[in-house]
Every structure is written in structure tokens, then in C-alpha cells.
Amino acid sequence: MDFYLLEFKLNGIKNIEKKIAISFYKQDIRKFNRENYNVKGIFGRNGIGKTAIIKGIEILRNIVLDSDYLILKSSLLNEIINKKLKECYLSSEFLIIDKNNKKHIFEHSINLKIKNGKIIITKEIINKKKLDRKEILKTLIIENGKINKEKSNYFKNLDEIEKLSMNLLDRKSIIKLIIDNAEKNIEKEGTNELKSEKFEFIYLYVLYLKINVFTHLEDSHYKMVYINFENQNWLDKIYVDYVNQEAKKRNILFRTKEEIENLNKSLERKERFLKLFNPELNKIEFEKKDFDENYYEIEYVFNYKDYKINFEYESMGMKSLFRLFDVLDTINNGGIVFVDEIDMSIHDLYLNRLIEFFAENGKGQFTFTAHNTSILDTLKKYKNSIDFITEYQEIKPWIKNGNYSPRKQYLEGMLPNMPYNIEYYDFFEIFDTSEEEG
């Protein structure tokens, strides 16, 4: 099976106050070929909204995969959802090619709203579309926590879907609810048979499983949630999540004792990857301590010729590459990867070669935000690979214009609504150290 994200739309995340759309492929998908459509860079000035795009896809993914996300991350989402709008819209459209080489187009959208400090789902829509990407074959519409039976025709038996999702649709995605219900039935009845319309929801779920998002630790926000509850599994989930997030600040990870067996294999590949950037690295090892009966506390150690250094004290670049590897590794397994500020702490020569590799050889999708303009010269060789965010928060794909390079157009302010009207002398009044001003 093959999964491809065709388009992502959002509004109301961080400073984004009107709907924007990121398109990854041309409109016509009848002769779909991902070649030359594997990578995309998103560019724009500081604070224009690039990170909002990455956060948007991350939020949509997490709502689908994690039943408790809107509760556990309520404080975080209260800060990320636009302060003026107090609501947001997230939508994905994607192509799935099944094992029989048949194409399916799905569109999934969620509207969130801040209500009395809580985050609620006000609308969720799932459409199956024709290959023209315009006409809707069937739809499921959920509004204000209830299935709109008059407009929905996705399931023959909507009563069954309504029953399993009763009083849950304002805080959990219908995709997750249907998947959880299917798993329970399989365990209970011992059968893998699913009705075709429910089976399609597995496609949707797997699509979101394939999405991986990388943001730098400086842009990660966590807060412990204190709630009275009886469900021990839920408590464990919160606790382990909290412990791991706190540990990340000290560059310590917690692994189950079963996971340790595979850790050495993954470290060998990371080692080879990091040696491309720093040939002086000899080996990466880990030290483990018992945390409890189920978990080890893991600390990584980088070995060089004459010394060893704990991961915590490594350079920012090496630490970023170490963390980034796990995400990039999924691209060659059909993963859909989003990285915020890919150029942070990575030399542009190595970065351009890395991007070129995934453009030429990647079996998945690689989308990133960046400021490094040298990347534009690499991306211009590929299709639909460069998007700019204008001063008016519009997405403007780069279109080839004669012999002009995107880098030249960008830096010289030749792109519409993207003026770079700043000169070195503009900093004088800010950093003036003359005696007259003391």
C-alpha cells in the first residue's frame, strides 16, 4: 500500500487567522507518480507562520491517534490556538493506493474551539471522493458532538456508529473511536472481518500513523495534568509521558526492558549517519540504570578518539541530528515527515545533500520549514517543492520564471508581497553606542 498527503489546510493555529493550504501534488492524480514530488520546503520571514503549519499537522495527527490528547494537552492547545479566533480548522486530503493498485481519495477535517478553557471538537468531516478530487462519493458529518444523519451517507447503519460514539464526539475523533471499537470486536469475537466502510477507517488511521513531526526542544511545551480518576492505565500513560518529557530536557530517555534489545541495532545506524557529519566520532554507547521493574533509564555517551562525552553536553548540532535521524528514517518506509527549521545547527552543504537524497530516493514525503536560502537552489530541480508565505499569510508556490532562480527572486524582493526592504543601516538606531546617547 502507498499513502500520499495531497493537501493540508489550516486556520487558527498560532498567528494564522485565515485559511491557508499547502499542496503537495498536482490536481490530476489519475496517473499518480510520486517521483519529483517527494520534498517540499516552506520559506518566509520570522514569525510569519511556518511553525504554525508544522504544529497544525501535529495536532491533527495526535487527535486521531490519541483518545486523550485534547484532555492531556488542553493547556498547551489553549496557548497554540489563535488568541483572537479562539478556534481552529485542520484538514488533510490524501491518496491511498491499496494492495490491488486501486486509488482512494479521502478528506478529513476537524474544527476545534476553546470553550470555558476546554478544547472541544465542534465539527469533524470525513469524505471519500472521486479521483477528480472534487465530487464527494460519501460523507460522515459530525457537528456539536452529534452525527448529522440527514447529511451523512458513509455508513448504512448510522445507529451503530452513533451508539459506539455516544457523548464522546466533542473530545475524541470518530476515526479513533471506530478503530478502538473494531479492536474490541476482534478480541471479543476472534475474527478479522470488518465491514468495508469500517475497513476504510483503518486506511485513515494508518495514514496518520505514517505522519512524523520533528520540532526542536525549545519549541516543545509540556505541563503535568492533575486529575482525579480511577483508570490506572490512563494514570500510567500520563506518568510515562511526563517522565519522558522531563527527561528530554536532560537528554535522558526511558525505555522498556524489551526495547533495550533493539537499541544497539538502531544505534549502529545512527552512528553511521552521524559519522557523515563528524568523522571523528568513533562510537555511540548507552548506559542504563533500573528505573523500576519495567523501565530502564538510558543515557547516551559519544565516544571520540581521546575522550567520551555525555549526550547532554554534546553540541547542539550533533544532538539535533541524533534526534532527527529517527524521524528521517521513516521516510524510506513510506513515512510522511514534517520538520520545523531543518537548517538549525546543520551545515548547509550537508543539509542540501540530505534533501537531495530524499528527493531522489525517498519512498515517502519530506516537508520542512527553513531560513537557509541555499536550499532553494536544490529544491528548484523538483516539482511543487517550494512554497513561500507572504506578508498577508498567503501560500505562494514558486513558479519558474525564465532564468530567474528562486533564491535570487526571494532575496531581492521580486516575489509578490514578500518585500525584503531592510538594509544594514537600519540597525544603527537600535545598536547605536555613540556617547551622545550614553
What percent of the chain clears pLDDT 90, i.e. is strictly above it?
66
Higher pLDDT, 363 or 220: 363
Higher pLDDT, 254 or 405: 405
Residue in the structure block whose three cell numbers are 528562486:
406
Looking at residue 322, what is its pLDDT?
A: 92
Q: State the pTM of this model.
A: 0.88
What Cα–Cα distance (Å) separates residue 424 from each residue in 154, 369, 420, 427, 432?
59, 25, 12, 6, 13
| CB within 8 Å of 430: residues ≥ 6 apart | none
Question: Cα(404)–Cα(224) distance, rounded to whole angstroms?
Answer: 51
Are the C-beta atoms of residues 138 and 127 closer than 8 Å to each other? Answer: yes
Looking at residue 254, what is its pLDDT?
A: 58
pLDDT at 67 over 50: yes
Domains of the chain (ranges; CATH) run: 2-224+333-411 (3.40.50.300), 250-329 (no CATH)
Total Cβ atoms within 10 A of residue 407: 17
Measured in degrees and rounded to the nearest 5, phi and psi for residue 160 equal: -65, -45
Question: Residue 412's pLDDT band (boundaries 50, 70, 90)?
Answer: confident
Looking at residue 240, what is its pLDDT?
A: 47
pLDDT at 428 over 60: yes
Give the pLDDT confidence of 13-34 residue by residue, as tens digits: 999 999 999 999 999 898 999 9
Report helix, strand or coil for 215: coil
Looking at residue 298, what is its pLDDT?
A: 84
Give the pLDDT confidence of 125-148 residue by residue, as tens digits: 999 999 999 999 999 999 999 999
Taking every pair of Cα atoms in the chain, the longest distance, rounded to a whole number of angstroms, is 84
Query: Mean pLDDT lowest for which of 215-229, 350-364, 391-405?
Result: 215-229
Q: Which residues of 12-47 are buried (b: 16+ CB within 10 A; e: fewer)?
A: bbbebeeebebbbbeeebeebebeebbbbbbbbbee
Residue 339: enclosing H or E segment and its boundaries?
A: strand 336-339
Looking at residue 195, what is its pLDDT?
A: 62
Q: Which residues of 75-95 are buried (b: 16+ CB within 10 A; e: fewer)?
A: ebbeebbbeebebbbbbbbbb
Question: Cα(56)–Cα(402) distance, rounded to whole angstroms?
Answer: 35
User: Which neighbouring-strand residues pair with 136?
Assistant: 129
Question: Residue 400's pLDDT band (boundaries 50, 70, 90)?
Answer: confident
pLDDT at 249 over 50: no
Residues 249-275 have a mean pLDDT of 75
Is the dihedral angle over the CA atoms 251, 252, 256, 259 positive or is it negative? positive
Question: Cα(165)–Cα(305) distance, rounded to whole angstroms?
Answer: 59
Residue in the structure block whose three cell numbers are 571520540:
304
Residue in the structure block whose three cell numbers are 494564522:
16
DSSP strand pairing (103-115 vs 281-290): unpaired
Is the dihedral angle over the CA atoms 329, 330, 336, 341 positive or is it negative? negative
Looking at residue 386, what is its pLDDT?
A: 97
User: Which neighbouring-strand residues pair with 9?
Assistant: 21, 91
User: Which neighbouring-strand residues pair with 143?
Assistant: 123, 146
- Average pLDDT score over the chain: 87
Looking at residue 231, what is its pLDDT?
A: 44
